[in-house]
Amino acid sequence: MPKVLVTGANGLLATNVILALLEKGYKVRGLLRNSRKFNAPIPDELELTEGDITSNDALDKAVTGCDYVIHAAALTAQNFLSYQPYKLVNVDASEKLVKICIDRGVKKFVYISTANAFGFGSATTPGHEGLSISPPFTKSFYARSKLEGQQKVLQYKDKIEVTVVNPTFMIGPYDGKPSSGRIIMMGYNKKIIFCPPGGKNFVNVIDAAKGVVAALEKGKNGQAYLLAGENLSYKEFFTKLSEFSSKSPLIITIPRFLLYLAGYLGTVFRLTGIKTQLSLTNMKILCVSNFYTNRKVSDKLGVHFDATKKGIEQAVQWFKENGMIS
């Protein structure tokens, strides 16, 4: 069977992609900084290699001998004070990697971007692949860098087959950091939950992983596919989460002006050199209905998505099994 390199192998999506590839019979090589942080079983068909995603030597070593590459590694933290760290990892390293793939004769390159590289919409007219990035994500260092990385790798589609996938907010097992699973910890078994007034598209990470594998096998060169699940307000999400808790929480929506005030304070802190996730941009993001459709990936690649409830259940179970919640 062909061998697939998956970068950022210990990440939420990458781990589930690796498991999906192994289930389909692929051989897999995972690139990550520390192999001890890999949260899933390691069968004979999986090889883990350690290296820095910004290192040419590490990338070349990881790519050599692989038929396909799925590039999931990214800088996602929201507390950096300038665009440069995001550009270094999400743009420059991605371009280095695709060039090495061309030199090494890799057949296909799948780039994991973000849904927010496209414009979002409402519940009745959700965002899709034809919409340009929209505020407040135009001022998000992370979203901007993923869009730039996406555009950069697509420039090489005449030299190597390139497909892009754009997942929304992923929920599910193997979230060891945790990353997006922090929202589970915020609300699980709480008596009172304070939530923002906006919403997101939530996707079961297992379905998103299947979407990545489908893009590898059937995705068209130069095309991007939104991996989107269910559009929910934050209040609706926490209501679903409460079904798996022993408590029935009081869910209180935080007024928009309070979030904006916190964002202004965070921006002041950042201007003084203090690293914080608080910023006006991030608070504005929490106040929008960040909704998308999965019509293209469903119609073109045959990928179908479960309701968010299943992803929540799987995430809660995994966090419990690993002592992260009780």
Q: For residue 275, count other CB atoms closer than 10 A to its CB.
A: 11
CA–CA separation, 226 and 118 (whole Å): 9
Burial 277-298 (b: 16+ CB within 10 A, else e): ebbbbbbbbbbbbbbbbbebbb
CA–CA separation, 64 and 27 (whole Å): 14
**pLDDT for the residue numbered 326:** 84
pLDDT one-digit tens code per residue, 199-250: 999 999 999 999 999 999 999 999 999 999 999 999 999 999 999 988 889 9
For the chain, report the end-to-end CA distance as a whole number of angstroms. 41
Decide: 111 and 96 in contact? Cβ < 8 Å: no
CA–CA separation, 231 and 307 (whole Å): 10
Decide: 149 and 139 in contact? Cβ < 8 Å: no
**pLDDT for the residue numbered 1:** 82
pLDDT one-digit tens code per residue, 156-203: 999 999 999 999 999 999 998 899 999 999 999 999 999 999 999 999
pLDDT one-digit tens code per residue, 97-117: 999 999 999 999 999 999 999
**pLDDT for the residue numbered 73:** 97
CA–CA separation, 108 and 217 (whole Å): 9
Number of residues in the chain: 326
Q: Kindly report the backbone phi and psi dihedral angles of residue 322, in degrees, each rounded to the nearest multiple of 5, phi listed first.
A: -105, 15
Q: Three-state SS across 242-271?
A: HCCCCCCCEEEECCHHHHHHHHHHHHHHHH
pLDDT one-digit tens code per residue, 119-144: 999 999 999 999 999 999 999 999 99
Domain boundaries, the chain: 3-176+201-231+290-306
Identity of residue 148: E
CA–CA separation, 75 and 279 (whole Å): 18
Facing residues of 31 across strands?
7, 49
**pLDDT for the residue numbered 142:** 97
C-alpha of 98 from chain center: 19
CA–CA separation, 305 and 204 (whole Å): 7
Percent of the chain with pLDDT over 90: 93
How is domain 3-176+201-231+290-306 classified at the CATH fold level? Rossmann fold (3.40.50)
For the chain, what is the total number of helices (H) and then of strands (E)?
A: 12, 13
Q: Is the dihedral of CA 219, 150, 38, 186 positive or negative?
A: negative
**pLDDT for the residue numbered 246:** 85
Residue with tokens 């590694």: 73
Encoded tokens for 58: 């590490």
Cα atoms found within 13 Å of the Cα of residue 287, Cβ hemisphere only: 18
Decide: 36 and 59 in contact? Cβ < 8 Å: no
CA–CA separation, 3 and 17 (whole Å): 13
**pLDDT for the residue numbered 247:** 85
